[in-house]
Amino acid sequence: MTNTSFGQSSPNLGRTDRLMEMAKTSIAKSDYEKANYYFRQIIESGVSIPPEMPYYFAETLYQLKQFDNSSNFLNKYLEINGFKAENYKEAKALQQALKAPLEAISSCKLCDAKGYRYQPCPTCHGKKVIEQDCSYCKGKGVVGCSRCKATGIVTRKNVFDITEYYQCSRCEGEGRLTCPRCDGTLKEVSACHTCSGFGEVHSEELCDHQNHDDHKEEVFTEQ
């Protein structure tokens, strides 16, 4: 069992070293997309990552404008290695460089906390609510009167134990009432289940913190 485990881990470690070198070479060539690919291959391999990898990955993510993710890896790098880290000075410089874009994300209302832009909800189109057939009256607009059991008549015993019949005062003898949920409109309005009433959903688009006319017009025209 021990020999099998060693035989499996050794090639993995060698592959990790190769991926690390290829990623660093890609960074040197400013090919950050390729470096990002190599780093993610290392993470997905499940083996222990090289101690300097979080810094290089943070630098790569910074160049790709994934600032929140970059900050997370950079903080982990400094937490693990401290001031003895091989790239400590570079890491502190990157930490300083991240301040402005992270503050921009924090103050922007167009994107989430990770810097990804919101987009109009595809279900409610920015309205935050959805209209659907009333589930209470099943789209009929009326419901049976519960007091008279939809008969329009109520009964009571008099002092002689004789049953007397009266017109139901609640429904005025109709046996039906206007649906209390939709008020007879046949429709009910509820918070959109897709966006939880927010009107927008997350996207994979990195935010530039600028208003886009197409985004605003899409929400406006649907309203």
pLDDT in tens, 162-217: 888 889 988 988 989 989 888 888 888 888 888 988 889 988 889 998 887 654 44
| 124: in domain | no
pLDDT interval class at 136 (50, 70, 90) = confident
Same-domain status, 10 and 102: yes
Q: Collapse the DSSP code of 212 into the 3-class scheme (helix H, G, I; strand E, B; otherwise coil) and give the result.
A: coil
Same-domain status, 22 and 64: yes
| 140: in domain | yes
Domain count, the chain: 2
Same-domain status, 58 and 10: yes
Same-domain status, 102 and 161: no
Same-domain status, 8 and 90: yes
Q: Which residues contact 2 (CB under 8 A, 6 or more apart)?
A: none
Q: What is the CATH number of the domain that holds 15?
A: 1.25.40.10
| 13: in domain | yes
Same-domain status, 88 and 151: no
Same-domain status, 103 and 170: no
CB distance 152 to 167 below 8 Å: yes
The rounded percent of the chain whose pLDDT value lies above 90 is: 45
Is the confidence at residue 8, as pLDDT, over 50?
no
- Give pLDDT, residue 65: 94
Task: Work out the mean pLDDT of the chain and round it to a whole number.
Answer: 86
CB distance 94 to 58 below 8 Å: yes
Pairing of strands 153-157, 163-167: antiparallel
| 121: in domain | no
Secondary structure element (H or E) that encloses residue 25, with its range: helix 2-28
**Which domain covers residue 198, as residue numbers?**
129-222
In degrees to the nearest 10, what's the CA dihedral of 128, 131, 135, 138? 180
- Give pLDDT, residue 2: 36
The domain boundary, picked from 76, 107, 138, lies at: 107
